[in-house]
């Protein structure tokens, strides 16, 4: 049965869900208040890392691995490159920590993974110092997603498939959806609007919206994504990738930044985050220690206390769902999540309790617990 479905928010969660539902024959309206690439949107960045490690969490591990196949299918479908398979290196400080748990889970799932000596970092990167590491976990099938391009491609495909895209801000008035003063008739509504979720709904769950800074450092061609793996330092909370999309070497801190209200507060660059990144660059990649900053960009995280997403019915509202709170690790899952949400809407599967709003079991879906004292 074809349903009238409204998806609010055209970031990666929203547009993936909208396209999947349209492919399945539903009549879908996608609502977005900003233009593509606007700095206020969560999915506006040029790149995102794609990796499969999620410690011992089999659900996320399998989802990320399935997402890789779906990204490849989308590349073939639209004849364009969306993923650079350059690999992902995890810099692991603890012998029996996150990296070891991930190693075991990946091996049990049959996902390619290598456990390397820290000295092997010198063959992965033009310059590398790993004296403080126990090992490097290397995922050869991971890499970098062309994030902004991906959202644009999926949005364009959604429109070409017959989906309706409306620019405007949605309001929920007594359970009915209004955009630009016009009511939209819907059988199902999916709220996938990132940092606006805690402003729209009074939920019995802790959600924090924080500013996050991404810094691009001047780097020679050997530091491009085509030549080096993406990377994550799990315990020290840094990540990045080589030069890509006309930008040089990327480095960012995964430490949660300042909380802010996206409707009222201006996002501001943090000198503290800049200093943290510069110090880490000098420590881990010594030949880049004198690199100048080419660009600083701000994005935002919408995070739950356990870093698990929210994919659940809106309390008190029939046939409305919240899909969001990616908690800094959602983009890579986009097409897999779109299929998961579509299956829920079509009542093909039962929802995962870890994504519930009420009575969710504590089970860390990210790595926030590893550095929960590191907040700016």
DSSP of 134-162, one letter per residue? Answer: SEEEEETT-EEEEHHHHHHHHHHHHHHTT
Calpha distance 348→344 (Å, rounded): 6
Q: Once rounded to an integer, what is the mean pLDDT over residues 189-195?
A: 96
DSSP reduced 3-state for 221:
helix
The answer to whether residue 202 is domain-embedded is yes
What are the two backbone dihedrals, phi and then psi, of residue 297, each rounded to the nearest 5 degrees? -125, 150
DSSP reduced 3-state for 121:
helix
The confidence band for 371, taking pLDDT boundaries of 50, 70 and 90, is very low
Average pLDDT, the chain: 93
Calpha distance 44→15 (Å, rounded): 13
| 167 strand-pairing partners | 32
Beta strands 249-253 and 114-116 are unpaired
* Tens of pLDDT, residues 102-154: 999 999 999 999 999 999 999 999 999 999 999 999 999 999 999 999 999 99
Predicted pLDDT at 361: 80
The percent of residues above 90 in pLDDT, for the chain, comes to: 81
Token pair 């495909």 is at which residue?
157
The confidence band for 373, taking pLDDT boundaries of 50, 70 and 90, is very low
Total structural domains in the chain? 1
Please check whether residue 361 is in contact with residue 206, taking contact to mean a CB–CB distance below 8 angstroms: no
Beta strands 188-191 and 320-324 are parallel
Q: Give yes or no for residue 274 having a pLDDT over 90.
A: yes
The answer to whether residue 153 is domain-embedded is yes
Domain holding 72, by residue range, is 4-371
What is the value of pTM for the model shown? Answer: 0.95
Q: Name the nearest CA neighbour of 135 among 102, 176, 177.
A: 102
Beta strands 114-116 and 135-139 are antiparallel
Q: Identify the DSSP state of 318.
A: T
Q: Give yes or no for residue 50 having a pLDDT over 90.
A: yes
In this structure, of 90-99, 270-279, 360-369, the range with the lowest mean pLDDT score is: 360-369
The answer to whether residue 324 is domain-embedded is yes
> What CA dihedral angle connects 258, 259, 262 and 267, to 10 degrees?
-10
The CATH number given to whatever domain includes residue 106 is: 3.30.9.10
The confidence band for 268, taking pLDDT boundaries of 50, 70 and 90, is confident
The answer to whether residue 81 is domain-embedded is yes
User: Where is 61: in which H helix or E strand?
Assistant: helix 58-78
The answer to whether residue 154 is domain-embedded is yes
Q: Give yes or no for residue 291 having a pLDDT over 80.
A: yes
The answer to whether residue 376 is domain-embedded is no
Q: Identify the DSSP state of 365.
A: S
Q: Name the nearest CA neighbour of 338 among 20, 48, 68, 70.
A: 20
Calpha distance 194→42 (Å, rounded): 7
Tell me the helices (H) and strands (E) count for the chain, helix number first: 8, 20
The answer to whether residue 148 is domain-embedded is yes
* Burial grade of 156 (CB within 10 A; 0-12, 13-18, 19 or more): middle
């Amino acid at each position: 049965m074809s349903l009238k479905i409204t998806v609010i928010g055209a970031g990666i969660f929203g547009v993936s869900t909208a396209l999947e539902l349209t492919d399945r024959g539903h009549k879908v309206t996608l609502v977005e208040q900003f233009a593509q690439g606007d700095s206020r949107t969560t999915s506006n960045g040029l790149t995102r890392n794609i990796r499969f490690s999620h410690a011992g969490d089999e659900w996320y591990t399998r989802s990320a691995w399935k997402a890789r196949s779906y990204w490849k299918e989308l590349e073939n479908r639209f004849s364009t490159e969306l993923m650079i398979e350059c690999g992902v290196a995890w810099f692991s400080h603890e012998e029996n920590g996150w990296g070891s748990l991930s190693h075991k889970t990946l091996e049990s799932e049959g996902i390619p993974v290598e456990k390397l000596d820290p000295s092997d970092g010198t063959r992965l990167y033009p310059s590398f110092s790993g004296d403080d590491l126990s090992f490097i976990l290397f995922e050869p099938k991971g890499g970098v997603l062309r994030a902004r391009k991906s959202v644009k491609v999926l949005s364009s495909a959604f429109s070409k498939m017959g989906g309706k895209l409306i620019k405007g801000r949605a309001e929920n008035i007594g359970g009915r959806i209004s955009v630009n003063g016009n009511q939209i008739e819907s059988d199902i509504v999916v709220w996938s609007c990132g940092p606006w979720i805690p402003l729209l709904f009074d939920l019995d769950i802790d959600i924090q919206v924080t500013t996050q800074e991404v810094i691009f450092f001047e780097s020679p061609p050997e530091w491009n994504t085509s030549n080096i793996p993406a990377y994550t330092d799990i315990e020290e909370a840094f990540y990045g990738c080589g030069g890509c999309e006309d930008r040089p070497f990327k480095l960012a801190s995964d430490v949660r930044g300042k909380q802010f209200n996206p409707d009222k507060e201006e996002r501001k660059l943090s000198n503290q985050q800049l200093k943290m990144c510069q110090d880490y660059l000098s420590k881990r990649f010594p030949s880049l220690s004198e690199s100048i900053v080419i660009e600083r960009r701000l994005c935002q995280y919408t995070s739950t206390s356990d870093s698990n997403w929210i994919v659940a019915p809106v309390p008190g509202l029939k046939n409305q769902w919240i899909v969001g709170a990616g908690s800094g690790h959602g983009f890579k899952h986009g097409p897999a999540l779109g299929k998961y949400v579509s299956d829920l809407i079509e009542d093909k599967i039962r929802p995962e309790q870890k994504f519930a709003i009420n009575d969710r079991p504590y089970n860390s879906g990210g790595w926030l617990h590893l550095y929960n004292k590191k907040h700016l």
